[in-house]
Structure 1
Amino acid sequence: MGRSKVKKVKPRKKKPVKLDKQFNCPFCSYKKSIYIKLHKSKGVGELSCLKCGVKYASHITSLDECIDLYSEWVDKCLDVNKKERSEAFFSEELVPMEQME
């Protein structure tokens, strides 16, 4: 009597997930208009909108990807907007309600 042969199933390799290189512009709201180019040898990442022409450049490391540069840019834009709102709220140019009457 012989043993029945068992077929061995080889595990399949998972394909790595491809990250986007084009994103939506927060200024002009145009879809996939942000193009990112990484110069890893120089340590510089460039970001530009093909529609409205907004540009941004930043220092990068060899581990950074396109999404890292885009998220850093969006975070800085939000910080600037938050500062402008708080400055406008506490600005001396605003007239108190008592003087308006």
Structure 2
Amino acid sequence: MGKRKKSSKKPAGGKRKDPLETSFTCLYCHHEKAVTVKLDRKEGIAYLSCKICSQAYQSKVNHLTEPIDIYSEWIDAADEAEKGLK
């Protein structure tokens, strides 16, 4: 009789995840990687600012918030502000 084949072990740790972006394209001046997001988890505030046109945005954060979340909130806030002007 034949023996059973052992399944090969998977490497520990698995696939390595790429870190999320912290710099984005500005909505107003359209420069790539000009907008940076800084999270101050101790204070519970996130700061978003453009290096070129000096646009800024602040938002509250929690322990699950990532920079892309703040950027998305900024986009939504800019859309709401634009709708309010019309």
TM-score (norm 1): 0.74
Residue matched to 2:83:
82
Give the root-mean-square deviation of aligned CA atoms: 1.7
Q: Deviations over 1:52-72 (max 9, x none)?
A: 111111111111000000100
Structure 2: distance between partners of 1:32 and 1:40: 23
Q: Structure 1: which amino acid aligns with 2:66?
A: E
Q: Deviations over 1:79-99 (max 9, x none)?
A: 1101112xxxxxxxxxxxxxx
Q: Structure 1: which amino acid aligns with 2:55?
A: V
**Higher helix fraction (1 or 2):** 1
Q: Structure 2: which amino acid aligns with 1:53?
A: S
Q: Which runs of 5 or more structure 1 residues have no equivalent in the other structure?
A: 86-101
Q: Which runs of 5 or more structure 2 residues have no equivalent in the other structure?
A: none
* Aligned residue pairs, count: 84
Structure 1: distance between partners of 2:9 and 2:53: 51
Is 1:52 aligned with 2:53?
Answer: yes
Is 1:25 aligned with 2:64?
Answer: no
Q: Structure 2: which amino acid aligns with 1:6?
A: K
Q: Give the % identical residues.
A: 35
Structure scoring higher RCO (CA < 8 A, sep ≥ 6) equals 2
